[in-house]
Amino acid sequence: MAETALTNPEESAARATGWQGIADDWSSDQRAFKNVSWGKAMMWIFLLSDTFIFSCFLLSYMTARMSTTVPWPNPSEVFALTIGGHHIPLILIAIMTFVLISSSGTMAMAVNFGYRRDRTKTAVLMLVTAALGATFVGMQAFEWTKLIMEGVRPWENPWGAPQFGASFFMITGFHGTHVTFGVIFLVAIARKVWRGDFDVERRGFFTSRKGQYEIVEIMGLYWHFVDLVWVFIFAFFYLW
């Protein structure tokens, strides 16, 4: 009787379809997330929520830029530097992008050596990643200072649309805050890796269990997300 009920065409036809059917299939699966740690799952949920926030910021920026009747400043002129008597557009932004993208490579190598239980290389690569992130934040601070000295404010802009200042400081500031927190956590976790906290089961933040180098991978997920967001900011804000 049970097999007959399960193979009944009328019952099969009554099953949910579309997105509801997909949700039902995933919720009934007892293995899909069985081996996923809480730390990694919570980081993915955090990154998903952060994706919505950054998306809203970029959409708001696009809406403000396309709806304003005042001319929008030319990024190639606003973000240019004069070096050796030559006016070079976007040179600082290009260096910042190179530094941040390079940090993704060192972070990926740190995760690789972390799962190999190579404490020294993991810690060193995480510190290199933190140094690159700190360099990025330092260059962003220089960029902010330059624009503030030239008269850019959240409520005004000497080159045209006043919305430019508000959009610039909001989007780059929010992203810079993410990078700053990432640098702090990179240094903290690198210190624990260097001391061998994950090998001797030393109690403390991020080191409650022995051999849990997964925190390095979780930190890598966050860092790669921050780098990816910068690619969109670079494309929409500086190249458009």
Query: Has residue 28 been placed in a domain?
Result: no
pLDDT band with cut points at 50, 70 and 90 for residue 9:
very low
Query: Has residue 231 been placed in a domain?
Result: yes
Whats the size of the chain, residue-wise?
A: 240
Query: Has residue 193 been placed in a domain?
Result: yes
Q: In this structure, what token pair is assigned to residue 116? A: 């190999």
The 8-class DSSP code of residue 70 comes to S
Q: What does residue 88 show for φ and ψ, rounded to 5 degrees? A: -110, 115
pTM of the model: 0.81
Q: In this structure, what token pair is assigned to residue 134? A: 């700190």
- Please state, for a pLDDT cut of 70, what percent of the chain lies above it: 81
What CATH number is given to the structural domain containing 186?
A: 1.20.120.80
Helices (H), the chain: 2-6, 9-13, 18-28, 38-67, 75-78, 91-115, 119-149, 163-195, 197-200, 214-233
> How far is residue 194 CA from its own chain's centroid?
25
Query: Has residue 16 been placed in a domain?
Result: no
3-state secondary structure of 236: helix
Residue with tokens 């240019």: 80
pLDDT at 151 (0 to 100): 86
Q: Determine the structural domain holding residue 128 and report its residue range.
A: 39-238
- Domain count of the chain? 1
Residue range 114-130: average pLDDT? 93
Q: In this structure, what token pair is assigned to residue 17? A: 């379809």
Query: Has residue 62 been placed in a domain?
Result: yes
DSSP 146-197: HHHHTT-BTTB-TTS-THHHHHHHHHHHHHHHHHHHHHHHHHHHHHHHHHTH
Tell me which amino acid residue 113 is.
F
- What pLDDT, in 10s, does the model give residues 27-79? 555 555 566 678 888 899 999 999 999 999 999 999 988 888 888 888 888 88
Query: Has residue 130 been placed in a domain?
Result: yes
Please tell me the distance from the alpha carbon of residue 5 to that of residue 12, in angstroms, as a whole number.
10
Residue with tokens 């950054």: 54
Query: Has residue 24 been placed in a domain?
Result: no
pLDDT band with cut points at 50, 70 and 90 for residue 202:
low
pLDDT band with cut points at 50, 70 and 90 for residue 2:
very low
